[in-house]
Amino acid sequence: MKKLFLCCALCTLTATTALASLPVVPDIGIKGSLGTKESYIEGKVLPKTYIGYKKVDRDEYNHQNDLYAKYNILGSKLQLLGGWRNHMAGQGDSFYGGIGVATPHLLGWQPYASYVKGSHFGETNVGLNYTLALGLGFNVNYHNYMPDNGSNEHGVGAGVTFQF
């Protein structure tokens, strides 16, 4: 009887482990976030390339619009960033480029940082993503926006993230 019970337990454990390793939500390459300071949506257009739109809400500088592209150099852990930002109060529109880095996920947590520099501004973002389940998660971040004309702005934001 013990052998039968152990055999059933082993088979159940093996089947459960195999099912748990299957992706629950297929990755079709659409990501997004709704946040207190930034909201974005992006889609995969090539195996290593995403394009997207981001609305950035700055206290002193109103909202700004980003049209951007990201190219994955080392998976999604190292990325080249480039884009165009408009609607920048007191400044001209600006093309920009930069880099983004992220660590591998550890127990659902993933720290990241990015820096971009445009012709009229520089910006640093540091944050922490947490994946809950089924492509849903949350994010806490700190930004430091440094315009060429005007005062620097920095602050903390939070948001809900999703991935399809």
Query: For 43-74, what is each residue's pLDDT tens digit?
Result: 999 999 999 999 988 777 778 899 999 999 98
How far, in Å, are 15, 24, 28, 107, 153 from residue 90 at the CA level?
A: 61, 47, 39, 43, 14
Confidence (pLDDT) at 32: 96
Output the six-digit token pair for 29.
């390459």
| Cβ pair 146, 118 in contact under 8 A | no
Rounded to two decimals, what is the model's pTM? 0.77
Token code pair at residue 14: 């093996």
Q: In CATH, what class is 28-163?
A: mainly beta
Cα first-last separation, the chain = 46
Q: How far is residue 106's CA from residue 128's CA, in Å, rounded to a whole number?
A: 11
Residue 138 has pLDDT above 80, yes or no: yes
The share of the chain scoring above pLDDT 70, in percent, equals 81
Residue position matching structure tokens 């480039």: 82
Q: What is the pLDDT of residues 23-45, one digit of tens each?
A: 344 457 899 999 998 999 999 99
Amino acid at 77: K
Element at 140 (helix H, strand E): strand 136-147
Q: Which of 101, 60, 64 is nearest to 86 (CA)?
A: 64
Q: Where residue 75 falls among pLDDT bands split at 50, 70, 90? A: confident
